[in-house]
Structure 1
Amino acid sequence: MSGWRDKAACRDMDPDLFFPTTSSEERLALKACAQCPAICECARYAAQHDRISG
């Protein structure tokens, strides 16, 4: 990894957390994103690579 991914709050978290199946998993994912210094870069990457559904 390099750049914004190295700064991501979720870099050591299980990626499945970001595909929540429960409301508590959703809260954990949102909490990680809320305090993440790389949220803008991550959102831009996700949008450019069809990772966000509308």
Structure 2
Amino acid sequence: MLEETVLSWQDRALCAQTDPEAFFPEKGGSTREAKRVCASCEVRSECLEYALANDERFGIWGGLSERERRKLRRRAV
């Protein structure tokens, strides 16, 4: 039940209504479309927090790529 509450932001995520392939592009593929969707998403910060807390290694989360999240994590340490 607690996890259900914690992840309730996912129900409001714009990516849930979009092609998931855009958020997991092939290596070297464009992230532009996914980041455009993220830019107008009301739960972007919750999504990014989730990705950082769970060490998500693939995909666009909270508008950031895996490399951008790694850089953000390094700056926070």
Normalised by the length of structure 1, the TM-score is 0.75
| Matched residue count | 52
Q: Percent identity at matched positions?
A: 38
Q: Which has the higher contact order (CA 8 A, sep 6+)?
A: 1
Separation of aligned partners in 1, 2:19 and 2:53: 22
Gaps of 5+ in 2: 58-65, 71-77
Separation of aligned partners in 2, 1:13 and 1:49: 22
Deviates more, 1:31-40 or 1:10-19: 10-19
- 1:17 is paired with a residue whose SS is helix
Match for 1:36 among 36, 41, 51?
41
Structure with the larger helix share: 2
Q: Greater Rg, structure 1 or structure 2?
A: 2
RMSD of aligned residue pairs (Cα, Å): 1.9
Indicate whether 1:46 and 2:54 are aligned: no
